[in-house]
Structure 1
Amino acid sequence: MKKIIYSLFFLALFSSCGQNETQETAQKDETPTQMYFNGEILTMETDEVVYVEAVVEQEGKIVFVGSQKDAEEKYGNAKKIDLKGKTMLPGFIDPHSHFGMVSNTMGQVDLNPAPVGDVNNIPAIMEKMKQYKADNNIPDGEWIYGWGYDDGQLEEKRHPNKRELDAVLPNNPVYLQHTSGHMGVANSAALAKFDVTAESKNPDGGNIEHFPNSTEPTGLVQETAMYPFVEKMMGVMAAAQAEHFGTTQDYYAANGITTAHDGMTGRSTIQFYQDQADAGKMKIDLVVLAGYSELEDNINDSTLVFKEYKNGFKTQGTKIVADGSPQGKTAFFTKPFLTEVPGCAHQCRGLPSLTQEALDKLFLTAYDNNNQLFIHCNGDATVDMIMKAHENACEELNHPLDKDRRTIIIHAQFSRQDQLEKFVEYNMQPSFFTNHAYFWGDVHVENLGKERADFLSPMATSIKLGLKPTNHSDATVTPIDPIFTIWSAVNRISRSGKIIGENERVTPYQAIQAITSNAAYELYDEDLKGTLTKGKLADFVILDKNPLKVEAGSIKDIQVVETVKEGKSVYLRE
């Protein structure tokens, strides 16, 4: 009798377990699931090219990567999304741009030359500025901003000056931001706002240009001398942040980007971004870098958490600006420029933005607090300064030189071979800017000579050394366009059609790694995104053609068809 009772008990128990399993399976099957198939699905998981037949998304994450047959057997109820031969990649990760500045340009006059804009001479700049005031009924006394002018692409081959601006806008303070983001031109009303006069001295790391044989400022302010004007501009534009926040995300998403970047962000803007994220307004992820002038305050602020996402937003680390712009002739080199440099008579090697002592202190503070550093650096003399600051901090803190802290050298454009080898030894990573080969490659040959120009953003050499370089747009310096960034890394062709550094061309696959898997690594996100791997976020970009299979010169013509963030479409090409 007892045996019968025990048998009935276990039968009921197993029956109950079976029912629970069936219920759990049914419940799982009812979870919204999507299967992507019938396309060229590139996982980017290794240094070898790997395609799979299907990827399955569930609740914002990748739950399957493999054959279509296995996907259908395991997820038979999944919504099937036929790629129809298109190419699917991990969503593009922006290694470095300026989300806030991109947003701010929506309230400024576009002064870019072709192919971004249509301004080719100084009279055209003046006409656009004058027309903007009239079209927008801007009253006298209100600031007016323009952005993107490039003296190297103007017919006059020079910067505009305050006299020209005064002639068309005498009653408004005006500031024109150079395409490099490292200088600008102010009119008389704007200069007066910040007491820039004939008696003004150059600030450390900056330059106030004067008319020839005169102490009168031309209006051109470079590097640290421009900071007051830029800070004012950011303050004026802040009022429209909320208005343009969604539009700016849409712009990034339309270019296949699922993780955007803001390369230097003030505390108030960081709080604004977090408020937007907490209100559920993030369509894509946004990663920002705090400014170095507030490093100690940021570290001591318990409300500012580094390296952790909260509702799609995180503050990753700290941005240091260590020198200027190579095309603007303010980057800091060991050898001089070969052409005339404004405000310099001889041995003109550019400007470090910080003293070695100041840079040393920043590194020491950051390393002592496990705060990731991203250092803007273009010239090789600045790289030398960075190496010294790194060595000093490690020695004082008794840290290994190769500790995994992922110090990122932003741009690193004219790093020498020996410096790249130091990056390997010190476990640093470069974030290159190969778009320069197109936009300013010809200018670099003229200003720096062919040997230095050809080693611009040396991606191929870095990869051979075992580094994981990323590659960026630095928008607004060049447009947000990862496809163009891939093209520029593969082709390195200038405006005039010259190849700038043939030996530094990379494969299309390596160029894609720079904005997917390598970019995830740069941001400590390698376990979260950057490859099509089970368990990672379902962040995808779908392209009309495969960058690995089209002719190299036509890569830039590839179109983003759709961008998917955690399983949800955030951009669909009409």
Structure 2
Amino acid sequence: MKKIVLVLLVSALVIGCKDIKKTEVLGNEPAQLFFNGDILTMDSEKPEYAEAIVEKNGKIVFVGSKDNAETNYFDAIKIDLKGKTLLPGFIDPHSHFGMVSNTMGQVDLNSEPVGTITNIDDILEKLKHYKEVKSIPDGEWIYGWGYDDGQLAENRHPTKKDIDKVLPNNPVYLQHTSGHMGVANSLGLEKLQVSANTKSPEGGNIDRFSNTNEPTGLVQETAMYPFVRLMLEKLASKQEEFFDTTQEYYASHGITTAHDGMTDRNTIRFFQSQADAGKFKIDLISLAGYAELDANLKDSTLQFKTYKNGFKVQGTKIVADGSPQGKTAFFTKPFLTEVPGCTHDCRGLPSLTQDAINELFVMAYEKDNQLFVHCNGDATVDMIIKAHENACKTLNEPLDKDRRTIIIHAQFARPDQLETFVKYNMEPSFFTNHAYFWGDVHVENLGKERAEFLSPMLSATRLGLKPTNHSDATVTPIDPIFTVWTAVNRVSRSDTVIGENERVTPYQALKAITTNAAYELFDENLKGTLTEGKLADFVILDKNPLKVKAMEIKEIQILETIKEGVSVYK
């Protein structure tokens, strides 16, 4: 697998975007005629190719034969693809743009193939080295990201005692790769007033040493929120510094529309200020946080579903449960292995009560606010379906109104729940990277039957749903080509196929990051296919994913990313 994350963050900055603002190039520019390659339109149920495509002033003005293109646009700049493949620019269905940016101010604690961490001593050495190299004074917070207890030799989370060995005088918080938990050292716990007397909050867990009531340092779900909130405040000053590098990183992976899967009001304002200053080279879609839903709906300056200079806030994100590999996702049947902080009937944690979710759905649906709901376990999906039914009944509106409520991850949605999605006009956004990164872990924790139905893309497609497929970065790295590979192959780290019956074709996998992604974000009239009148958002690949061996898809390279006719990565 390709080395990812920080190496590419640097390389994207060095060789990436041309420093051109879209607003500076639009006008009566010469047309560009692309030909002599596999121009895959994505505009049909089965693969169709065009001989030529013409872009003018940021829009697609022609798709068809080369002869007609040359006749109608004889003065166009001709771009010979030389046998390469041109597709609609990739649309990121769900990641965390802001968190990706924030990782640039943190210690990288990822295991292979993303990073180099193999054990807890590696983590401690990296933390110690980071403090020394960055000359961080005592008393200043140090943050790390991406550690995965399941990939450590010790097969456990680090504890506050571990971290205290190397950083006793700095408050420390290490974010788990799932994004649903983390570990603080003694000083970090003290700063957030977490002690033996602190009760676990509703929807969360403060892990304890078995022989005492002392916190181990591990905080899960709602218990981690104060730590993450403080981290975001501390790193906010670096947003502008890392903004360009982050969008260049996305563009280097063929993405012309990026995603920020949960954005607070201050960051929304920051993104809009960057957009209004002409600093966007690609589009960015944000989801506002559910904790601010009431204030957001009353804010007349916040216009949902409307692009302004390449940025829009599409809807609201609700976090309804946790992480399956972190054993905090909420299931109807228990985990098969030991769960921290639980001794009996360990089925994970809903992040919100049914009443709280019901209230959010009514509030959002009344204002036609699109909801995106984080659900991993099937019990949580049941809660969301109930909330949908309750809101529609309360507001006297049809269950199948075109709201496009999106179930983010829907990792372990059952077959009957997929059928309900069809009836209620809900759509899943899957996460097949889990098959690779944690497929083996899911078999161990959940059993083969449940594990093999994770992210059931083929079943959903056969039912007529329009599933998308995402990276959830920083949980897994930004790499749409890799998500295609995982959807097609569903191979784990141990080379085990996780759910052979849910493998999709390369074309179906591409639809999940083009056509279907545009649909789920209400952008189907703007993006997602190579169709006359749509934006000229393109990605050029060195090989055609439909024409290489399935296991070779992940080796395909992004040669160029074009946003509204302007090359933003090459």
TM-score range, shorter chain: over 0.9
Instruction: Give aligned-pair identity as a percent.
Output: 74
Residue aligning to 2:49: 51
Distance 2:370 2:459 in 1: 25
- After TM superposition, give the deviation of residue 270 of structure 1 in Å: 0.1
Deviation of residue 30 (structure 1)? 6.9
Question: Displacement of 1:102 after TM fit?
Answer: 0.1
Aligned counterpart, 2:131: 133
Deviations 1:155-195 (A, max 9, x none): 00000000111110011110000000000000011101111
Displacement, 1:424? 0.2
2:239 is aligned with 1:245 = no
* Letter paired with 1:327: Q
Q: Secondary structure at the match of 1:240?
A: helix
Q: 1:376 aligns with which of 374, 377, 385?
A: 374
Contact 2:28 2:57 in 1 (8 A): no
Partner of 1:198: 196
Q: How far apart in 2 are the matches of 1:407 and 1:298?
A: 18
Per-residue CA distance 1:441-465 (angstroms, 9 max, x = gap): 0000000000000000000000000
- Give distance in 2, aligned partners of 1:94 and 1:399: 31
Say which one has the larger Rg.
Answer: 1
Unaligned 5+ segments in structure 1 are: 1-28
Q: Deviations over 1:294-319 (max 9, x none)?
A: 00100000000000000000000000
What's the CA shift for 1:213? Answer: 2.0
Counterpart Cα distance in 1 of 2:438 and 2:535: 37
Unaligned runs of 5+ in 2: 1-26
Q: Which residue of 2 aligns with 1:161?
A: 159
Is 2:473 aligned against 1:475? Answer: yes
Q: How far apart, in 1, do the equivalents of 2:35 and 2:236 lie?
A: 44
Q: Out of 426, 433, 437, which is 1:435 matched to?
A: 433
Q: Does 1:302 align with 2:296?
A: no
What is the CA–CA distance in structure 1 between the aligned matches of 2:382 and 2:75, rounded to whole Å?
A: 58
TM-score computed with the length of structure 2 as normaliser: 0.95
Alignment partner of 1:269: what SS? helix
Compute the displacement of 1:336 (Å).
Answer: 0.1
Amino acid at match of 1:320: I
- For residues 460-505 of structure 1, give each alpha carbon's deviation from its aligned partner in whole angstroms, at most 9, with x where no partner exists: 0000000000000000000000000000000000000000000000
Aligned-partner SS, 2:38: strand
1:192 alignment partner AA: E
| Aligned residue number for residue 217 of structure 2 | 219
Q: Which residue of 2 is the match for residue 260 of structure 1?
A: 258
Structure 1 segment 81-160 matched on structure 2, within 5 A = 81-160=79-158
> Could you tell me the TM-score, scaled by structure 1's length?
0.94
Instruction: Tell me which residue corresponds to 2:4.
Output: none
In the alignment, what sits opposite 1:5? none
Paired residue for 2:460?
462
Q: Report the Cα offset of residue 32 of structure 1.
A: 1.3
CA deviation after TM superposition for structure 1 residue 363, in Å:
0.3
Helix, strand or coil at the partner of 2:127 = helix
- Distance (whole Å) between structure 2 residues aligned to residue 394 and residue 157 of structure 1: 45
Alpha-carbon distance between aligned partners in 2 of 1:491 and 1:199, rounded to the nearest angstrom: 48
> Is residue 293 from structure 1 mapped to residue 297 from structure 2 by the alignment?
no
Q: What is the aligned length? A: 544
1:420 corresponding residue in structure 2: 418
The CA deviation at 1:48 is: 1.3
Aligned partners of 1:401 and 1:511: how far apart in 2?
29
CA distance in 1, matches of 2:29, 2:524: 27
How far apart are the structure 2 equivalents of 1:215 and 1:360?
A: 35
Q: Which amino acid in structure 2 is aligned with residue 77 of structure 1?
A: D
| SS of corresponding position for 1:420 | helix
Residues of 2 paired with 1:365 and 1:503: CA distance?
39
Match of 1:20 in 2: none
What is the alpha-carbon distance in structure 1 between the residues aligned to residue 569 and residue 527 of structure 2?
A: 19
SS of corresponding position for 1:389: helix
**Corresponding position of 1:317:** 315
CA distance, structure 2, for counterparts of residue 342 and residue 196 of structure 1:
17
Q: Does 1:502 align with 2:500?
A: yes
RCO higher in structure (CA 8 A, sep ≥6): 2
Distance 2:520 2:211 in 1: 48
CA distance in 1, matches of 2:101, 2:268: 14
CA distance in 1, matches of 2:522, 2:49: 25
Aligned mate of 1:403, from 401, 404, 422: 401
Write the distance in 2 (CA, Å) between the matches of 1:30 and 1:268: 37
Name which of 335, 342, 345 aligns with 1:344.
342
**Do structure 1's residue 545 and structure 2's residue 537 form an aligned pair?**
no
One-letter code of the match for 2:251?
A: A
**Within-5 A mapping of 1:61-80:** 61-80=59-78
**What amino acid is the match of 1:368?**
E
List 4+ stretches of structure 1 deviating above 3 A.
Answer: none
Q: Which amino acid aligns with 1:43?
A: T
Cα deviation, residue 31, structure 1 = 3.9
Do the aligned partners of residues 330 and 441 (structure 1) sit closer, same or farther apart at CA in structure 2, a change above 3 Å counting? same
Deviations 1:228-281 (A, max 9, x none): 000011111110000000000000000000000000000000000000000000
Q: Which amino acid aligns with 2:121?
A: P
CA deviation vs aligned residue, 1:54-77 (integer Å, no higher than 9, x gap)? 000000000000000000000000
> What's the C-alpha RMSD, in Å, of the aligned pairs?
0.7
